Structure 1
Amino acid sequence: MGENRTNGHPGAAGRAPAADQPIRNVVLVGHSGAGKTTLTESLALATGALTRAGRVQDGTTVSDYDDIEHRQQRSVQLSLVPLEHSGTRINLLDTPGYADFTGELRAGLRAADAALFVVPATDGIDGATRMLWEECAAVGMPRALVVTKLDAPQADFAATVELCRTAFGGDNPEAVLPLYLPLNHGPAGPDGAPRISGLLGLLSGSCFDYADGHRVEQAPDAELRGAAAEARDRLIEAVIAESEDEALMDRYLAGEEIDSKTLVDDLERAVARGAFHPVLASALPLDGSREGLGSVELLELVTAAFPAPAERPLPEATTPDGGSRPPLSCDADGPLAAEVVKTSGDPYVGRLSLVRVFSGTLHPDQPVHVSGHGLTDRGHQDHDVDERVGALSSPFGRTQRQVARAVAGDIVCVAKLARAQTGDTLSAPAEPLLVAAWSMPEPLLPVAVEAHSKTDEDKLSQGLAKLVAEDPALRLEQNPDTRQLVLWCLGEAHADLLLERLRTRYGVQVDPVPYLVPLRETFAGPARGRGRHVKQSGGHGQFAICEIEVEPLPTGAGFEFVDRIVGGSVPRQFIPSVEKGVRAQLARGVSAGYPVVDIRVSLVDGKAHSVDSSDAAFQTAGALALREAAAETGVRLLEPVAELGVLVADEYVGAVLSDLSGRRGRVQGTEPVGTGRTLVRAEVPELEIVRYAVDLRSLSHGAGDFTRSYVRHEPMPDAVAARTAPTPAH
């Protein structure tokens, strides 16, 4: 770093790496609009992968991944951009910044070995980005920061660095410091923004001037060195401390001048350990130049300081049945172990799987074993099948450049994996493996849908199966109580994207309908009912009479049927028929159409006919008796109650508590979690939290998260019951 190294070469992006070629897997993290995609294009331009800003030689843009993405004017999916710099292959993973697409971001974190957090100099840092930083810190992932939009009005590099130190430094803000200081030269641009045209390297002491459209190394004058002396001293002390080089610290404290190469080596060690997080600067290319300001410096940091795949721990692997096996190692000659981190449909080549190879080497037309991923609760069935991979390719926008192989540590696109889904493991058929699944966000926004037409209904199941295969953040539910087809999503934008893909990609149109919370009914008090089903219209008739007593039971007790017949008034063979009829009516409901629970039904008397009585007749009589009993005593609605665990920044706890109170919530307690965050536990009726995934995000400015779990059904207040949801269709 700090040296004017040779850039990559045009056309290098699609080449297969040599078995010994260095690889770096880097994920870009930042909120929507932070400038991740623009930064990606700037890096691609600097390496020669693009011939001019945003375009490869065939006219494809580096961000040209999905028509829906262009219509929504935001990144909605994980995108791989392969680059090459100084002989190192860089797999750059551009992730969506919008909270609704956290599943794509988690996939990027899984595939990467280091993270670049993109922070705009104009918008600050949102709560979701802070949470992701903590998530990366928990697994020890090396991180660096890039301050973008320095060419925008009101941009302030120094203020943004201080914000990063406060947000990400935790107990040690000295672990977050800039490597370069931006320099202003010449008049401001036409928009009034300062013209950032150079960088001063604090470790190397060199000045890199971009004023003429190309990076030129210069020696800074004495005045510039003096102005940066304090920042340089702070950086050197922090780097030496975080690299844990005690001998070098003793030399530095003794006043010895440390050469830049030694300092750079220590910097690389501290970054790779995940102990120091350098801050770099980035701005758009000047005057259509080939190099955006800071792009080369960033590439040098990635290739020199970020760890190679072999230097990062790999996920645990077992046999598909859960048996133990030796830990994986990033060895091209080892057993094949790869993971599908993303699945997408392409109208020309069919299903494409983005695969991270952890161990071994993957070749085109190679037979592989596909092991399922354990997300059956979301509609993703476990499976163990053998398949044959198709072509391997390296994507760049919509262009797929074929490669000869993918070695351990690399990321590649695989065609024609018909059964593999996101999260599945690819291994050798003779030695099948299952890689431990990564943490996926829980979809908590329900969207009920129904087919738009009979034609759509015929194609619906197939289209939904493809959506589920692509997106493990989606949970598909056929609710047995409300009979609704429900897509559980991460947010409104996620839901809109899924419905749009279903329509445009798979030709299935669905209509959203109001989501029905599964309510219950129970008896308000004891009651008696008489069911009389007598018909005689010539030929064999129908005759059944039964009398029942109904008692309400405690919440959660379920249903009990008691036979209290004496003297044979109802023949023994027809008593189960009465119970069957009662149970059928319980499922249909007796008032609002919701299932009836928590009652005891006792059969106390009845009459039968030696010829006309039958099983069907007594089933009907049992149902009629239950309905008559309900009319006598009245019915109460029961609503489901969920336990919420709401995790928010401390400053939003008051707002969350007030909001939960307005939702008829009962707060169970609060407890601190880590630094600056609080977990609020509460019980809230599910009717009040249908849209809580959206509302909490707004309430906490993106800094909140929550979990929910069903607790019980309990009586609904009369005022709420009067305006309850419509009766479910049966």
Structure 2
Amino acid sequence: MPHNTIRTARCAALVGPYLAGKTTLLESLLFAAGAISRKGSVRDGNSVGDSAPEAKARKMSTEVNAASFEYLGERWSILDCPGSVELACESQNALMAADLAVVVAEAAPDKAVLLAPLFKFLDDRRIPHILFINKIDTLGDQSVRAVVSAYQEVSTRKLVLRAVPMREKGVVTGLVDLVSERAWRFNPHKPSNPVSLPDALKTDESEARQALLESIADFDDALLEKLLEDMAPDSDAVYDSLAQELANDQIVPVFFGSAENDNGVRRLLKALRHEGPEVAVTAARVDAPAQGAVAVQIVKTQIGSHAGKLSLARVWRGEVADGMILGGERVSGVFRLFGHEQTKIPTATAGDLVALGRLDKAATGDRLTDANGGKGNLGAPADWPERPAPVYGLALHAENRNDDVKLSSAIQKLTEEDPSLVLEQASDTGELVLWGQGDIHLRIAMDRLRGKFNVAVKGQAPQIPYQESIRKGTSHHARYKRQTGGHGQFADIQIDIRPLPRGSGIQFEDAVVGGSVPRQYIGSVEAGIRDAAARGPLGFPVVDFAVTLTGGQFHPVDSSDMAFKTAARQAIAEALPACEPVLLEPLLTVTIAVPSAFTPKIQRLVSGRRGQLMGFDARPGWPGWDEVKASLPQADMQDLIVELRSLSLGVGTYVWEFDRLQEAVGRAADRAVEIRREVLAAQ
């Protein structure tokens, strides 16, 4: 269909838990709309979505995939979002561009808790959403109402069943639409066939339709008045109410089907078309910028190894043309996406989801306009998703040492593509640590470094920033003397060492009297002490001790700054082993968030990691959730997120902050010292 015949352009996002079938649903929607003649599959690696090498290798979505197509005179863009909780940032950013979301879930009540964070995100931002219960062929003896009831427990919005199933011998064979009251028999991989409403279903259908009408009448006074007068509302009025209340995020219509068999998918597609909000409604909801004639929202950044940077953008207002100045930069290409395929187009209009080329300064989240001579970059809106707190880190190094400089540049591009990745140069250990949302998240990042940027890397658990201190003090005398021909080197010092309270750092005091150590060398003594403290008897930096310089000797010719600095280092190295050195390990304050049903498991989790519970309380703004506070050694944190998610069906998370240093004893301390000696020996 020619571009100028398109009446409107809209965007929907497919979101939901891992294995719910989102990519399969995308494939089915494209097939139903005639955008593809033959369906691919995740299993075979030939689907429109999941085209990246990392996705094919894992048979799962690893990033947002976009596919645009035309259906009955309208252009639709579908965003297929990853379901892994570790990649939630990708999905949340994509949702900020959508007119509505299709929440894809399995017909499994025991998995309802998986949707709690997603429903919370959608409702906090008033993003309209539909619930599509997929894999209806696995429903078995359960009722659709029981499944919907389970999902209602984790949704603050009313879930409104839009159809009831038809069954034969316990198998769902079709549906009855509760608005039109028309029955449809599933015809796998083909459009459903209209059939007469079975007599056995008439009572159930009537009751379910009444429940639907009562639910939407809560927000429609005219409809409520008709119901109170026992008047049957016409279907058009019901559809209008459904569309209005969906757009206002007041209700969540519930559909069901099987994407694998293309059952119920055409019904979903028609509901999106007739009831989903249009771009003007969405632009008002997100408070799209009013400055200028053009406004767009960047929702994802892609950087190719050769093609350069592409910014996936939703056009809220106006027309974006190749070569125009937008957000202070010239647009170098406008592309419509269909999975990994890119089609260059001259312009994109309001509602379109397109990739814009070479906007080097634009970042994910930015809102761009053509205001102020095309210089309008307004940054991210106030409700843009916050970057999740990092919960898992790996120390990276290039397999080829010659790639060290290349590695830093590649990671910078990677973090621009994925804002939930954080690169840190650890000040304590000097390691290059990449932080993210879990092991899968970071392994995907490492695969991209290798495949996209040609930098092979290895990752390992980051070193724990242990320190050490002393339990008792001592006095020590050190002399440094060397004769090498001309001027020699001479310095003699006497010091007292004593422990300090935790957090005191290193303190130096000058108590020399009579000029036994000249004033110009005092600073060198302090510098030598601090240098020596970088590696104590156990191999770690030494903290929380004081050194007093009480006396010494000098030579008028052979003494120098370097000599006194060396003598100070020697004194510390010789004295500290006699001061009962002790290992200090960092303790973190960890706040763990889980549904209340899993709270009892957290006590075992914490105690099994040498932790101490500090109490728990209700999680603010999250009905049915708790926050558990605990003190945990950093050494026991590396795979905490893995176990926590295993205990909480994948939804548990935590934030942490450094609390204090504490003496470490026993097997954990001995092992830490042993590993440190091995590391130092290998350097």
Asked if these proteins are the same fold (TM beyond 0.5), I'd say: yes
Quick check: 2:11–2:78 contact (8 Å CA) kept in 1?
yes
Cross-structure match for 2:296: 338
Gaps of 5+ in 1: 1-11, 287-291, 317-326, 370-385
1:657 paired with 2:603, answer yes
CA contact (8 A) 2:421 2:436 kept: yes
**Aligned residue for 1:110?**
96
> Aligned in 2, Cα 1:559/1:425: closer, same or farther, shift over 3 Å?
farther
Distance 1:129 1:336, change over 3 A: same
- Matched residue type, 1:234: A
Letter in 2 for 1:723: R
Q: Deviations over 1:294-316 (max 9, x none)?
A: 22221222122222233236698
CA distance in 2, matches of 1:79, 1:171: 26
Aligned pairs for 1:262-661 (under 5 A) are 262-284=237-259, 292-312=262-282, 328-329=288-289, 334-347=292-305, 349-369=307-327, 386-428=328-370, 429-436=374-381, 437-586=384-533, 588-661=534-607
Q: Distance in 2 between matches of 1:53 and 1:629?
A: 75
Deviation at 1:149, TM superposition (A): 1.4
Equivalent residues of 2:116, 2:155 under 8 A apart: no
Q: Is the 8 A contact 1:338 1:359 kept in 2?
A: yes
What are the residue-to-residue correspondences of 1:714-725 with 2, within 5 Å?
A: 714-724=662-672
Instruction: Return closer, same or farther for 1:720/1:284 CA change in 2, 3 Å cut-off.
Output: closer
Query: Is 1:670 aligned with 2:616?
Result: yes
From 148, 168, 187, the equivalent of 1:211 is: 187
Shift of 1:362: 2.5
Report the more deviating stretch, 470-479 or 224-233.
224-233
Report deviation, 1:494.
0.9
Q: Note the alpha carbon deviations across 1:315-365, whole angstroms, 9 max, x for none.
A: 98xxxxxxxxxx644x6x835443432222335633322123344442212
Q: Is the 8 A contact 1:122 1:149 kept in 2?
A: no
Q: Does 1:45 align with 2:31?
A: yes
Whole-angstrom CA distance in 2 between matches of 1:416 and 1:549: 63
Alpha-carbon distance change, 699 to 61 in structure 1, aligned in 2, over 3 angstroms: closer
Matched-pair contact (CA < 8 Å) for 1:353–1:414: yes
Indicate conservation of the 8 Å contact 1:647/1:704, yes or no. yes
In structure 2, the CA distance between the partners of 1:100 and 1:170, relative to structure 1 (3 Å rule), is closer
1:693–1:664 Cα change, 3 Å: same
Q: 1:222: Cα distance to partner?
A: 4.7
Counterpart residue identity of residue 514, structure 2: G
CA drift of 1:509 comes to 1.1
Determine the C-alpha separation between the residues in 2 that align with 1:219 and 1:409: 39
Deviating more after overlay: 439-448 vs 116-125: 116-125
Give RMSD over aligned pairs: 2.6
Q: 1:320: which partner in 2?
A: none
User: Could you tell me how far 1:182 is from its partner in structure 2?
Assistant: 2.9
Aligned residue-pair number: 667
Paired residues of 1:124 and 1:160 also in contact (CA < 8 A): no
The one-character-per-residue Cα deviations of 1:575-604 (angstroms, maximum 9, x if unpaired) are: 001111111112x22112222211121111
Question: Could you tell me whether the CA contact under 8 Å between 1:60 and 1:399 is conserved in 2?
Answer: no
Q: Distance between the aligned counterparts of 1:431 and 1:513, measured in 2?
A: 43
SS of residue in 2 equivalent to 1:723? helix
Match of 1:713 among 658, 661, 666: 661
With over 3 angstroms needed to count, the CA separation of the structure-2 counterparts of 1:156 and 1:111, relative to structure 1, is farther
TM-score of the superposed pair, with normalisation by structure 1: 0.86
Counterpart CA distance in 1 for 2:122 and 2:664 is 43
- Counterpart amino acid of residue 321 in structure 2: H
Alpha-carbon contact 2:393-2:435 (below 8 Å) kept: yes
Indicate if the aligned counterparts of 1:530 and 1:547 stay in contact, CA closer than 8 A.
yes
Helix, strand or coil for the counterpart of 2:498?
strand
Pick one of 216, 230, 236 that aligns with 1:255: 230
Q: Which runs of 5+ in 2 are unaligned?
A: none
Match of 1:31 among 11, 17, 24: 17
Rounded Cα–Cα distance in structure 2 between residues aligned with 1:582 and 1:285: 70
**Which string of whole-angstrom CA distances, capped at 9 and with x for unpartnered residues, describes residues 461-518 of structure 1?**
2222221221111111111211211111211111111111111111111122342111
Distance 1:686 1:170, change over 3 A: closer
Q: Which moves more between the two structures, 630-639 or 447-456?
A: 447-456
CA distance in 2, matches of 1:205, 1:482: 68
Q: Distance in 1 between matches of 2:173 and 2:4?
A: 34
2:480 touches 2:492 (CA, 8 Å); kept in 1?
Answer: yes
Distance 1:626 1:181 in 2: 80
**SS of the counterpart of 1:24?**
strand
Q: Deviation at 1:54?
A: 3.1
Q: 1:112-131 to 2 correspondence within 5 Å?
A: 112-121=98-107, 124-125=110-111, 127-131=113-117
Query: Structure 2: how far apart are the matches of 1:418 and 1:642?
Result: 38
| 1:153-302 superposed matches below 5 A | 154-156=138-140, 159-169=143-153, 175-184=158-167, 194=171, 196-211=172-187, 213-220=190-197, 222-241=199-218, 244-284=219-259, 292-302=262-272
1:613: Cα distance to partner?
0.8
Distance change (3 Å), C-alpha of 1:16 and 1:521? farther
Between 517-526 and 458-467, the greater mean CA deviation after superposition: 458-467
**Could you tell which deviates more after superposition, 630-639 or 404-413?**
404-413
Q: Deviations over 1:428-456 (max 9, x none)?
A: 44344222342222221011122212233
**Any conservation in 2 of the 1:646–1:705 contact (CA below 8 Å)?**
yes
In 2, distance between residues paired with 1:150 and 1:236? 24
What's the CA shift for 1:160?
Answer: 4.7
Report the Cα distance in structure 2 between the residues aligned to 1:676 and 1:451, rounded to whole angstroms.
45
Shift in CA distance, 252/63, structure 1 to aligned 2, threshold 3 Å = same
Structure 2 counterpart SS, 1:228: helix
